[in-house]
Chains A and B, each alone.
Chain A
Amino acid sequence: MTGTSEMFDRLLNTCAAWALALIWVLPLAYAVWTAFHPAAYEARFELFAPLTLENFSKAWNAAPFARYFLNTFILVTMILAGQFFLCTLAAFAFARFEFPGRNILFALVLLQLLVMPDILMVENYKTMRLLNLVDTIPAIALPYIASGFGIFLLRQTFMTIPKELDEAARIEGASFLGVLWKVYIPLAKPTYLAYGLVSVSHHWNNFLWPLIVTNSVETRPVTVGLSIFSAIDSGIEWSVINAATLMTSGPLLIAFLLFQRQFVQSFMRAGIK
């Protein structure tokens, strides 16, 4: 292979990669354009069209987005705390204890990777009604806090921790919970970070189950709030809807742009294990 043909090859690849990248950002870029310009420029492209934040303030005032954000924040925190607690204990049991029924129970845990709670919405809604929890934030959170994925991920990490460390801590008189707290959890920090990022972005974005189980401003997360806001087609301008759309994905998007490397590595780590 000659040098020129290789250079040509590289150039071709670069161009193709960039073309695809530009196509990929186009829909988002279009939304950003309209959100920051007055409605008159919705479909007209002028480089020096006046910039404005008016669409954002209109959207913010047209629906209780502040409350929606608070709800999502509470929801995501609740789920993450519950998941960390339950999954750590369960993963520790699967990784380091011998007990009858372990393999069957682990298979049952893995089953949840396939049968997600969203699929069972009909029955889960009945359960929530029975518990008198319909239209509360815990009702959105409860089906997700025992996560099969989380248990699996943490178990895999715990299994890689050398048993000698465990035994050394026990000889020094630590109880099994002490060992978990002092040896396992600190060593699994990267996994917790990865799982945390994946879980937060998943539940920030979740829609179907919250849509079913909430029906008031006090409980709705931003995704449901946004869908209601943009579904009223009583002549809300596109620029305002786009502003609202960007606003709801804003926190995650900004976090992603700032911590791109961590995000990508977390998704990678969470996927490979």
Chain B
Amino acid sequence: MKMRALKLKRDWIHGWLLLLPALVFLFAFTHIPAITTLINSFFSTPRGRRSAKFIGLENYDRMVNDPVFWKVLWNNLWFAIGTIPASVGLAIVMALWVNEKLMGRGFVRMAYFTPTVLPLIAVANIWLFFYTPGFGLFDQITGFLFGWPASNYLGNPDTALNAIIVVTVWKEAGFFMIFYLAALQAIPVSLKEAAQIEGAGRWTIFWRITFPLLMPTTLFVCVNAVINSFRLVDHIFILTDGGPDNASALLLFYIYEVAFRFWETAYGATLTVALLALLSLLAIGQFFFFDRKVHYK
């Protein structure tokens, strides 16, 4: 009995000691900043000799009345709607193709996956050139095929965000494909064979067998895609710099602008709180998802 208690106590100490270094860094750069963000959102931005002053909800008042805030929030919603279904749908199709015996499968798989290893900044450069009005390949092809005139997709407020969505889908689809590929390989062939014997066509097999079995993967990929829709802003710096007139700015990009171009750190903190609130809503959803996943194992 005493021995056991002693061992337990030693386990405690060892466990805590092992955890300590990681926790110090985790708290220093994730949990504590999250809390100080909330605190600073109730203060004014310190300027020169004037230190920060408690101003209650003034920053929030400003945020609610800031048309740019609503605009970037709206943009972010569009960005999510534009990127998530398209990249997930394409990922499924890509994985189905690559999983089959296909002529030149190696090349096809490489073509789909390569954008994933490129830095988003490099991707943006490549696409900026691709979109160049007049002599970029995009205009050349559409001009040649459909006779469209040269157009400035990135400089037009109606198309700038869509152009960015296309780049993001291009970058993400191949990444999500990998998860589907793994899931497809885990589905027993016998299921498919049994269905074929019963006379089911490819369509039926996909919708009745494959797709339902891919559901956990779809959930996982969707959670990732949603988080990414708040996180991926690197390419905006190169492609449009948020413009024209904030037409392609997303929430995280706006936080960067406010905090590091206008140096309004308190307002930046307030916007960060809004982003954190959005992410916590997602976390609640993710919690249920993780729960389900644990039961699967």
Interface of A, secondary structure class, is: helix
Decide: A43 and B126 in contact? CB cutoff 8 A.
no
Contacting B16 at CB < 8 Å: which of A1, A99, A116, A242? A99
| Closest residue on chain A to residue B97 by CB atoms | A17
Given A34-B129, A176-B14, A245-B125, do A114 and B29 touch, yes or no (CB 8 Å)? no
- Taking the complex as formed, is A136 at the interface, i.e. its CB lies under 8 A from any CB of chain B? no
Decide: A146 and B286 in contact? CB cutoff 8 A.
no
A127-139 vs B, Cβ < 8 Å mask (1 yes, 0 no): 1000000000000
How far apart sit A114 and B230, CA to CA, in the bound complex (Å)?
Answer: 10
Interface of B, secondary structure class, is: helix
Decide: A117 and B179 in contact? CB cutoff 8 A.
no
Kindly provide the distance from the CB of B110 to the nearest chain A CB, expressed in whole angstroms: 6
Within 8 Å CB of B103, what residues of A?
Answer: 14, 18
Contacting B26 at CB < 8 Å: which of A146, A226, A252? A146
Q: Identify the interface centre among A28, A105, A127, A151: most chain B CB within 10 Å of its CB.
A: A28
Within 8 Å CB of A27, what residues of B?
Answer: 126-127, 130, 137, 170
Within 8 Å CB of B137, what residues of A?
Answer: 26-27, 30, 43
How far apart sit A223 and B24, CA to CA, in the bound complex (Å)?
Answer: 29
Decide: B283 and A122 in contact? CB cutoff 8 A.
no
What bracket does the count of chain A residues touching chain B fall in? 35 or more
Within 8 Å CB of B110, what residues of A?
Answer: 257, 260
Kindly provide the distance from the CB of A101 to the nearest chain B CB, expressed in whole angstroms: 8
Kindly provide the distance from the CB of B85 to the nearest chain A CB, expressed in whole angstroms: 17
Q: Which of B62-70, B71-79, B207-215, B254-262 contacts A (4 or more CB under 8 A)?
A: B254-262
Contacting B201 at CB < 8 Å: which of A1, A28, A212, A230? A1
| Closest residue on chain B to residue A82 by CB atoms | B25
> For chain A residues 125-183, which have a beta carbon within 8 Å of chain B?
125-127, 142-143, 145-146, 148, 151, 176
Given A120-B37, A248-B119, A260-B110, do A97 and B18 touch, yes or no (CB 8 Å)? yes
Decide: B117 and A263 in contact? CB cutoff 8 A.
yes
Kindly provide the distance from the CB of B251 to the nearest chain A CB, expressed in whole angstroms: 10
Given A13-B102, A120-B34, A242-B129, do A99 and B12 touch, yes or no (CB 8 Å)? yes
- Taking the complex as formed, is A98 at the interface, i.e. its CB lies under 8 A from any CB of chain B? yes
Within 8 Å CB of B18, what residues of A?
Answer: 89-90, 92-93, 97
How far apart sit A256 and B137, CA to CA, in the bound complex (Å)?
Answer: 26
Contacting B30 at CB < 8 Å: which of A26, A117, A222, A260? A117
How far apart sit A227 and B116, CA to CA, in the bound complex (Å)?
Answer: 19
Query: What residues make up the interface of A, taking CB atoms closer than 8 Å to B?
Result: 1, 9, 13-14, 16-18, 20-22, 24-28, 30-31, 34, 42-43, 85-87, 89-90, 92-94, 97-100, 102, 105, 108-112, 114-127, 142-143, 145-146, 148, 151, 176, 201, 204-205, 207-208, 211-212, 222-223, 226-227, 230-231, 238, 241-242, 245-246, 248-249, 252-253, 256-257, 260, 263-264, 267-268, 271-272
Question: Could you name 16 residue pairs across A and B whose Cβ atoms are closer than 8 Å?
Answer: A18-B104, A20-B93, A27-B127, A30-B126, A43-B137, A86-B21, A86-B22, A89-B18, A109-B22, A120-B34, A205-B118, A207-B121, A223-B121, A226-B125, A242-B129, A271-B220
